[in-house]
Chains A and B, each alone.
Chain A
Amino acid sequence: AQSVTQPDIHITVSEGASLELRCNYSYGATPYLFWYVQSPGQGLQLLLKYFSGDTLVQGIKGFEAEFKRSQSSFNLRKPSVHWSDAAEYFCAVGAGQAGTALIFGKGTTLSVSS
């Protein structure tokens, strides 16, 4: 069965510092991977997705993620964090025929310190 693991429950980063959020997946075939962000009490916004092809994926708000099949990882990165990036970040794998029945990791809470 598909699953996603986000090892870090909570991360604090200084504003302007770089960020890496970890995600490991378990999936028998080529995974369809997503990163979503959620602000408190809000819905989910897609940051980026991996379907196939280039293993470095660019997303919105300056985020990127790298798919590494050998490590079963899809880590999210940002070179310089802004205070507005503080939120909950979810990695997800797409299940079902269309790959959009999402299975989420437990999430990583990002705090940004000034």
Chain B
Amino acid sequence: DTEVTQTPKHLVMGMTNKKSLKCEQHMGHRAMYWYKQKAKKPPELMFVYSYEKLSINESVPSRFSPECPNSSLLNLHLHALQPEDSALYLCASSQVVGRISPDTEAFFGQGTRLTVV
């Protein structure tokens, strides 16, 4: 199983809502990532978790709150978002943490298309 599963596929939320995005993988990967991709733009790294601990936060606003409750699951909690936060949110996972190896590869989910109204 080389799948990274993201739910929901689509989400529409108001600016006062609280919602969560979910990402799951069963490949035994110990690094998980959130990326944000605006239309016609490349993905931009938001957060990196390694061994369930936050290791990189790319200066993301606090209205985005990541959580990694176990090694298979990664959540992104959303609160008080703005319309400019509308984007495709991609989750990824990788096997190796802490060193480069020939097996280094990030597997991506299909993304959650978020629209903030």
Contact = CB atoms under 8 A, between A and B. Distances in A.
A87 to B, nearest CB: 13
A32 B108 contact: no
Contact of A98 (B31, B42, B113): B31
A104 B35 CA distance: 11
A32 B33 contact: no
Interface stretch (B11-19, B76-84, B91-99): B91-99
Contacts of A101: 33, 45, 48, 56
Contact of A106 (B42, B48, B90, B105): B42
Contact of B97 (A46, A97, A104): A97
Given A43-B111, A106-B42, A98 B96 contact: yes
B34 to A, nearest CB: 11
B109 interface: yes
A46 B98 contact: no
A99 B99 CA distance: 7
Contacts of B60: none
A51 B104 CA distance: 8
Interface string A34-74: 10100001111110010110000000000000000000000
Nearest to A99: B100
Interface in B30-77: 31, 33, 35, 41-45, 48, 50, 55-56
B7 interface: no
Contacts of A36: 108
